[in-house]
Structure 1
Amino acid sequence: MKVVLRPHHMISLAGYIVELRVPFRNLIVVNTSDEEVKLEVPVLTEDWIEDHRALGLDVTPVYDNDNFLAMYQKAKMQLEQSK
């Protein structure tokens, strides 16, 4: 299945992660480009991060002890500055 990430938008992929196979519980994905990008979901392996970074996306894994809200707000601020 694929999810389309519009230009200059971001998404949290918590519901699309198979947590038994990867060490993170969420991913923050930011598209700073002028083109939409298709994301392959669900996230089954750690290789997903590198595969999607190769597409020009900013991908930030969120681990159990991380503050998701602070990380999301930081990514949003960086996205706004890149416009």
Structure 2
Amino acid sequence: MPKMILPPRLTMALGGYIRETVVPYSKDEAEPFPYRNVIVGNPTDKPVKIDVPVYDKEWIDRHRKLGLIVVPVKVEDDFVGLFNMVRKKVKGSK
């Protein structure tokens, strides 16, 4: 799986890295990814490698275990408000 580096103290939106298809790649995938975007913040002082693109809901838990702040965004959510909240948490965790 491809990887991307999330630098320290940075917040990113991964909307362009979400697999946008309703056709499952395997029989195990019963539903498409339910979020339009995923906001990821790295509150640590070290870069973290993350998997891209985002394929499934388990991605969220796997990356939270790396110490990242991960907030999935649905269509009805306030993207800008959530992004600013994560960015504030990342900057304030020094």
Q: Same fold (TM over 0.5)?
A: yes
- Structure 2: runs of 5 or more not aligned: 23-31
Instruction: Please report how far the alpha carbon of residue 12 of structure 1 lies from its aligned counterpart in structure 2 after TM superposition.
Output: 0.5
Secondary structure at the residue paired with 1:73?
helix
Normalized per residue, which structure has more strand?
A: 1
**TM-score, normalisation: structure 2:** 0.83
Q: Kindly, what percent of the aligned residue pairs are identical?
A: 41
Alpha-carbon distance between aligned partners in 1 of 2:68 and 2:89, rounded to the nearest angstrom:
13
Instruction: Please report how far the alpha carbon of residue 80 of structure 1 lies from its aligned counterpart in structure 2 after TM superposition.
Output: 1.8
Who is 2:46 aligned against? 35
- Structure 1: runs of 5 or more not aligned: none
- Tell me how many residue pairs correspond in the alignment: 83
Map 1:42-53 onto structure 2 (within 5 A).
42-53=53-64
Normalized per residue, which structure has more helix?
A: 1
Alpha-carbon distance between aligned partners in 1 of 2:3 and 2:61, rounded to the nearest angstrom:
17
CA-based RMSD: 1.0
